[in-house]
């Protein structure tokens, strides 16, 4: 028997003020699209902004449904839109902002498990890492250099 340890590394910025200018701008776009979320049930709004290698920015917000599982997270709205419209483009960076209508989110809100798996698919497809920045409404911003920190031992096409 042996034990293995998998390290997950994150850079922590104290606030958006500490972010590099291009990421600050990407996060601002995530915040703006977050405000357009369709979240009448959870009142929890998420915005995602993707920077592609063709310099285009693709945005997404969560879209809920009265039949709850039929809704979709902001991250997947954005990455599926990117994959549909620009199938050859690589996703370089991703900014995520989440806020509740009922309480203030002050800690970084990470992508859910299903979104992590979807982001992993695109890293695997494009064979380059995606930088992921995530935050709440205010406060610290976490940065991961790749989905690998958020999804250790991830399942991908190499197992098929």
For 133, residues 6+ apart whose C-beta sits below 8 A from its C-beta are: 19, 23, 26, 27, 93, 94, 95, 96, 141, 142, 143
Our CB check for ligand THU shows the closer of 53 and 154 to be 154
Nearer to ligand THU, 53 or 148 (CB): 148
Q: How far is the CB of 108 from ligand THU (least distance, A)?
A: 12
Count of all residues that appear for the chain in the document:
160
Nearer to ligand THU by Cβ, of 36 and 53: the residue is 36
Residue 32 annotated as catalytic: no
What is the phi-psi region of residue 140: left when phi exceeds 0, alpha when psi lies from -120 to 50, beta otherwise? beta
Cβ at position 82, least distance to ligand THU in Å: 16
Distance (Å, whole) CA 74 – CA 89 = 19
> Encoding tokens for residue 151?
């999804």
Q: How far is the CB of 101 from ligand THU (least distance, A)?
A: 11
Residue that is written with structure tokens 């809100």 in the block: 109
Residues that bind ligand THU (CB under 6 A): 39, 42, 44, 46, 62, 64, 71, 73-75, 111-112, 115
Catalytic residue among 75, 121, 123, 140: 75
Q: What residues are annotated to the active site?
A: 75
């Amino acid at each position: 028997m042996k034990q293995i340890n998998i390290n997950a590394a994150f850079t922590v910025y104290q606030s958006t003020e500490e972010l590099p200018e291009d990421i600050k701008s990407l996060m601002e776009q995530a915040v703006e699209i977050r405000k357009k979320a369709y979240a009448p049930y959870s009142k929890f709004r998420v915005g995602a902004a993707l920077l592609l290698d063709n310099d285009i920015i693709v945005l997404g917000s969560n879209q809920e449904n009265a039949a709850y599982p039929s809704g979709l997270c902001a991250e997947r709205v954005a990455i599926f839109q990117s994959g549909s419209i620009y199938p050859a483009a690589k996703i370089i960076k991703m900014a995520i902002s989440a806020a509740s209508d009922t309480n203030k989110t002050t800690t970084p809100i990470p992508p859910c498990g299903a979104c992590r798996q979807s982001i992993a698919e695109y890293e695997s497809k494009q064979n380059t890492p995606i930088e992921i920045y995530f935050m709440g409404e205010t406060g610290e911003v976490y940065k991961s250099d790749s989905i690998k920190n958020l999804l250790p031992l991830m399942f991908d096409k190499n197992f098929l």
